[in-house]
Amino acid sequence: MKNLYKLIQKFTPKADKLGHFYWGFLYSIAGVIGFFIFDALWLIALPSVVLAASKEFFDSKGHGNVEFLDFAFTIIPGLVITLIIYLQ
């Protein structure tokens, strides 16, 4: 049982990355609203990509740590939702 617990902990993202995923999901919801209003599929992922890049740019100016995984975890929800809607 301890080995299973350690394995689960090893593959669970850190709280910081889960926060980025959460905010990326919320940004994507705004993109879905834009998609239904303007019927442009690219609008779903756009808010999460722009805001993730903006956050990493802000971090690069000395306000935090720049990490590619932060960017990736923020844009993943938008990309997944875009793919799901595209494939329907």
Whether 53 maps to a domain, the answer reads yes
Whether 7 maps to a domain, the answer reads no
Whether 80 maps to a domain, the answer reads yes
pTM listed for this prediction: 0.87
User: What pLDDT score was predicted for residue 12?
Assistant: 84
Q: Please tell me the distance from the alpha carbon of residue 38 to that of residue 31, in angstroms, as a whole number.
A: 10
Q: In the predicted model, what is the mean pLDDT of residues 60-88?
A: 95
Whether 1 maps to a domain, the answer reads no
DSSP string for residues in the chain: -HHHHHHHHHHSPPHHHHHHHHHHHHHHHHHHHHHHHH--GGGTTHHHHHHHHHHHHHIIIIIS---HHHHHHHHHHHHHHHHHHHH-
Residue 46, pLDDT above cutoff 90: yes
User: What pLDDT score was predicted for residue 1?
Assistant: 81
Structural domain including 62 reads: 13-87
